[in-house]
Amino acid sequence: MTELLQAIYTKISWIFFVYGALLLSIYFLGVILSARAVKRNKRRARFLEVKDIVSATDIPSVTLVAPAYNEGLTIVENVKSLLSIQYPFYELIVVNDGSKDNSMQLLIEKYKLKPVDSTFIVQPIPTAMVRAVYKSTEIQYKHLTIIDKNNGGRSDAINCGINFATTELVLCTDADCIVEQDAILKMVRPYLEEGDSEIIACGGAIGVANDSDIREGILKKLRVPKDLLTTTQVVEYIRAFLIGRMGWGEVNGLMLVSGAFGMYPRTRLLEVGGFNTKTVGEDLELCIRLRVHMEKLKKKYKVVYVPETLCWTEVPHTYEIFVKQRDRWARGLWETLKLHKYLFLNPKFGKMGMIFFPYWCFFEFGAPIIEFLGIIFMIIFGYYGLIDWNSAILLFTAVYLLGCIFSSVAVFFYILNFRHYSSAREVAELLLASYLEPFLFHPVLVFGQLKGLYKKLFRIESGWGTMTRKGFSSEASA
């Protein structure tokens, strides 16, 4: 019995070792690729500056679509932010998705809205019924359209906005986001630069604005959040966007453009039927479906990321809300991978089928499962005395330090290139969060992911869920 357990322990240990070594290798490669991508982006920015784009007459037109549901606490402030965006050919469509609060009334009063005739507008993507379409009587809000519709969920609301858009590009965000004024100018740059490959999706980095100073819908002063949970999410977002997605973008391996800030050609969105309303992972699913569509058309394409933080959002400020968010993300990942399982190791889809999609299956989907199984096996084999605890502690310490190094590199890389957090105190707070993350943040993250997977495994019904927000402060304390 002991020999059998020893043999099982040896084999399982090798599986975990190989899995961990592959994951660390991918992280190292991501750092190298993201550094190269950021440098290339800076060189391109010097040749095609924002002022050149503003003065051009042949740049693509853009509609920003922002779904809103029960956002009365922040809706007026955030629409101000979206209206302040600098771009010569720009329309804003805010879709009120059947809010039960006073969101619609606040918009009508603030922006002097009046209903307009919309019966002539063709709606190629089926959505919940549109109650009314509003335009402002004030000339300064002539680019604003408000759509009031029955509740159908976030994806349904965005699809409604896509239907009503008349521009070449559609930028999808959320009504509770604060968007940089020059965000669209930077987002269209890849569409102007690429020649032989069509850009089917472009994403911008998203930052955390909790406890920052927001005035008139504009981020005036960025601050490190006051509590550790949200500060750790700052580090997580920096690492994910700057190291993860920029690295994958360098090899055209991006499978996800964040739903909070993603730009797409409207014609391609219509060709694939818009966002999938039957999954809570609609941003990932859409990106994969667009890639599959282009593969079938045998056209060259790219999914790209702009490294500058162009959109600021409020992240969960309590562990309860955080777990609900990661539960939903895990369910969305399950649904998307299951829906597109035909891609797995399918050579017909090139690198996407042979490398990129399997990565998501093994490492994005598999990581929390592997961690959970690792704890179970450690308890079992520890009980039978098969674990060399001195070696195990050394290994755990090495893995912990490597993780901290990756986070620290991401933080310093971000600060050196974009200088959003510049004071010594802010840097120290972010580094402290990086080193505490494995103990106070990561276990809760894994719990949330496993909770979502558990629901899918046992077919427990669970919808989008709600995120209670504090709202952005107009005068955050120093």
**pLDDT, tens digit, for every residue of 171-207?**
999 888 889 988 999 999 899 886 789 999 999 999 9
Which pLDDT tens digit goes with each residue over 421-455? 989 999 999 999 999 999 999 999 999 999 999 99
Cβ proximity of 343 and 288 under 8 Å: yes
Per-residue confidence (pLDDT) for residue 478, from 0 to 100: 34
Query: What value does the mean pLDDT take over residues 356-365?
Result: 98
Residues in the chain: 478
Q: Which domains can be identified in the chain, with CATH numbers? A: 57-325 (3.90.550.10)
DSSP strand E in 137-188: where? 144-149, 169-173, 178-179
Distance CA(295)–CA(276), nearest Å, equals 19
C-alpha distance across the termini of the chain, in Å:
63
Per-residue confidence (pLDDT) for residue 70, from 0 to 100: 92
Per-residue confidence (pLDDT) for residue 336, from 0 to 100: 98
- With both helix axes pointing from N to C terminus, report the angle between 442-457 and 424-440 in degrees, rounded to the nearest 10: 50
Structure tokens at 225: 């959040």
Structure tokens at 461: 């019904």
Task: Using alpha carbons, select from 92, 242, 273, 246 the residue that is nearest to residue 171.
Answer: 92
Asked whether the predicted pLDDT for residue 365 surpasses 90, the reply is yes
Per-residue confidence (pLDDT) for residue 276, from 0 to 100: 97
DSSP structure class, residue 141: G
Task: Using alpha carbons, select from 332, 359, 310 the residue that is nearest to residue 205.
Answer: 310
pTM of the model: 0.93
Distance CA(177)–CA(125), nearest Å, equals 25
Task: Using alpha carbons, select from 214, 300, 236 the residue that is nearest to residue 472.
Answer: 214
